[in-house]
Amino acid sequence: MKLRILAALAGLFLLTACPSPKLTETEAPGSAAETPLPKAPVFDADSAYAFTARQLAFGPRVPNRPAHVACGDWLVKKFKGWGLTVQEQPFTAMTFDGTQIRARNIVARFQPQAVRRVAIFAHWDTRPFADNDKTHKNAPMDGASDGASAVAVALEMARALSQQPDSLAPAVGVDFILFDAEDWGYDATTQANLKNQLEGAGDSWCLGSQYWAKNLLPAGYKAEYGVLLDMVGARNARFSREQLSRESARPALDKIWNTAARLGYTDQFLFRDMGGITDDHVYTNQAGIPTVDIIDTLPNNATELFPAYHHSIDDNLKIIDRRTLKAVGQTVTQALYVE
């Protein structure tokens, strides 16, 4: 994901180079007695951890590199192996530094016959350089939390749902939509010495979701809501209620945060509002899917928005924590069963 904050003004999103999140503490979850949560599949954090490690073992999933192709093929194979219906959406694009990339979005559908649908979004590519690193700015990075963890949660959700008896099937179909080329964007705070060749031509981030929003796959795609997973695997991850998510997908956001609270994950899901972030949900919201962004950000009113590992070589397997994967994966899985 990227560094920029967006602000809604007269229906336009104004992008600024320097994140300056407006943070406000808000109410805690309600304590009223509630009916028990419906039974949902168990999200296996060990499995999600293994899916994270497996992606990293390919090497950085940077478009045009063999590791990227191999990982994409593996993702398709995994979803197909669990019986999901898989579609691939190849596309080409130019990045801010003038690189022509070959990329693909991957769509895997669980219960494709179901009319009511929920979309789970993530990006599966890795940023090509650790430009936020203090000393290794041009080094490749693993993208363990930023990319792989979210894909791993999607994979484990797909596995868990597909292995359940029909009696435990959710009332909704679930579409796992993995975007490519999210993370090859221009960051003015770390790359001021470079020229953004896409300046004036559009957003240099989120190239896969931008393409998908203009070329919906499946055609005419609709969902009741979407959940964008981004940086959901790091130790001590904290998720606040992001502005565009609140404005575009409030019922889904409330459902997810309340479900997290009922499952006991209030250390991760904070009942706290934060400013807007430009991420793939900007484009899925534009495509008519009310989408909530679950993304690891610093909750302490610091000048830094993102954790120190963000876009650095520290974003590797050492920071991945099964507890974070479990909190996110079990919450989003359970939410599918909460009507």
Long-range Cβ pairs for the range 101-105 (8 Å, 24+):
101/63, 101/64, 101/181, 101/184, 101/207, 102/63, 102/64, 103/63, 103/180, 103/181, 103/207, 103/208, 104/72, 104/180, 105/177, 105/178, 105/179, 105/180, 105/208, 105/209, 105/211, 105/212, 105/217
Select 62 or 161, whichever has its Cβ closest to Zn ion: 62
Interface with Zn ion (CB under 5 A), residue from 142, 146, 180, 293: 146
Taking CB under 5 A as the binding criterion, the range among 177-185, 192-200, 261-269, 326-334 that sits at the site for Zn ion is 177-185
Nearer to Zn ion, 1 or 118 (CB): 1
Which residue bears the tokens 């609140």? 246
Among 142, 183, 203, 242, binds Zn ion (CB under 5 A): 183
Minimum distance of Zn ion from residue 247's CB (angstroms)? 23
Smaller CB distance to Zn ion: residue 183 or 293?
Answer: 183
Smallest gap from Cβ 315 to Zn ion, in A, equals 8
Nearest approach, Cβ of residue 339 and Zn ion (Å): 33
Write the binding mask 269 to 308 for Zn ion: x where contact by CB under 5 A, - elsewhere.
----------------------------------------
Beta strands 24-25 and 100-110 are unpaired
- Looking at residues 194 to 213 of the shown chain, list those that interact with Zn ion (rule: CB under 5 A): none
Q: How many binding residues for Zn ion (CB under 5 A)?
A: 4
Select from 272, 277, 266 the least CA-distant residue to 327: 266
HSE, side-chain direction, 13 A CA sphere, residue 40:
23
Q: How many residues does the chain have?
A: 339
1 binds Zn ion per the rule CB under 5 A: yes
List Cβ neighbours of 279 (8 Å cut-off, separation of 6 or more): 1, 2, 182, 205, 206, 228, 230, 293, 295
Calculate ∠ Cα 204-75-178, nearest 5°: 35
Q: Identify which range of 58-66, 86-94, 125-133, 246-254 contacts Zn ion by CB under 5 A.
A: 125-133
For residue 320, the 8-state DSSP code is B
Q: Smallest gap, in angstroms, from Cβ of residue 311 to Zn ion?
A: 6
Bridge partners (DSSP) of residue 92 are 102
Kindly state the smallest distance separating residue 23's Cβ from Zn ion, in Å.
21
CB 3 → Zn ion: shortest distance, Å? 9
Give the nearer residue to Zn ion in terms of CB position, either 128 or 329.
128
Write out the residues near Zn ion by the rule CB under 5 A: 1, 127, 146, 183
